């Protein structure tokens, strides 16, 4: 008889797909990714201020989720090594 594990419900405020991708980034590159996503957030906020469309806010939300995932992963890696 085959036993299947029930998948754990995803409770993070960002998609699981983003978390999986971020988990593959080397630790040394996470700060670079955080810097890049923070720059992207600023750029997208400027775009949204000029053009308040649903697409612009959707891009802003996606970028915010990516930034949160990168910082969460960085925090996880630094606190487990201490």
Domain boundaries, the chain: 26-81
The tens place of each residue's pLDDT in the chain, 82 residues long, gives 566 676 666 566 777 888 888 888 898 899 999 999 999 999 999 999 998 999 999 999 889 988 999 999 999 988 865 5
Q: What is the DSSP letter of 24?
A: T
Q: How far apart are CA 21 and CA 71, in angstroms?
A: 13
Q: How far apart are CA 51 and CA 49, in angstroms?
A: 6
Which pLDDT score, from 0 to 100, does residue 45 have?
Answer: 93
């Amino acid at each position: 008889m085959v036993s299947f594990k029930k998948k754990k419900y995803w409770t993070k405020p960002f998609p699981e797909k983003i978390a999986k991708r971020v988990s593959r980034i080397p630790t040394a590159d996470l700060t670079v990714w955080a810097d890049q996503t923070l720059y992207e957030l600023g750029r997208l906020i400027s775009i949204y201020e000029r053009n308040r469309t649903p697409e612009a806010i959707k891009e802003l939300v996606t970028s915010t989720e990516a930034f949160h995932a990168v910082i969460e992963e960085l925090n996880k890696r630094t606190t487990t090594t201490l």
